[in-house]
C-alpha cells in the first residue's frame, strides 16, 4: 500500500462531499465544468483498474469513495444545470 497515494486520495477526495453539498444548497452550477469532472472520473477509473490488476489493496476503497462523491456531484450538476443563479435574476 502506498501511504502517499492514500494521502493524495484523502486530501483530493475531501473536496467532493463539500462541492456536492455546496451545489445542493445553492441549486446552481454556475462556474462548474462537467467536462472537468468527467476527466477526473476517467483518472479515478484508471486508478481503479490499476489497483484491481496490479496492486490490489485497501486504497481501492478510497478510489471508490471518491468516485461515489464525484458521481453525486455530477448528478447534481445535471439536476441543476438549467437553474439561473439568484444574483442573475432581475
- For residue 29, the SS3 value is coil
Set of cell numbers at residue 1? 500500500
Return per-residue pLDDT of the chain as tens, 90 residues.
789 999 999 998 899 999 999 999 989 898 899 999 999 999 999 999 999 999 999 999 999 999 999 999 999 999 999 887 666 555
- pTM metric for this prediction: 0.86
The second-level CATH assignment, the architecture, of 3-88 is Up-down Bundle (1.20)
Name the residue ranges covered by the structural domains of the chain. Answer: 3-88
Question: In a 10 Å sphere around its CB, with 0-12 CB exposed, 13-18 middle and 19+ buried, how is residue 48 labelled?
Answer: middle
Name the residue with cell 496490479: 54
Amino acid at each position: 500500500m502506498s501511504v502517499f497515494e492514500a494521502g493524495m486520495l484523502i486530501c483530493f477526495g475531501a473536496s467532493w462531499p463539500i462541492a456536492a453539498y455546496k451545489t445542493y444548497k445553492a441549486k446552481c452550477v454556475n462556474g462548474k465544468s462537467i467536462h472537468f469532472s468527467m476527466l477526473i472520473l476517467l483518472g479515478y477509473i484508471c486508478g481503479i483498474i490499476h489497483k484491481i490488476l496490479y496492486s490490489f489493496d485497501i486504497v481501492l476503497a478510497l478510489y471508490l469513495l471518491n468516485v461515489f462523491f464525484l458521481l453525486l456531484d455530477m448528478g447534481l450538476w445535471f439536476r441543476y444545470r438549467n437553474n439561473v443563479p439568484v444574483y442573475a435574476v432581475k
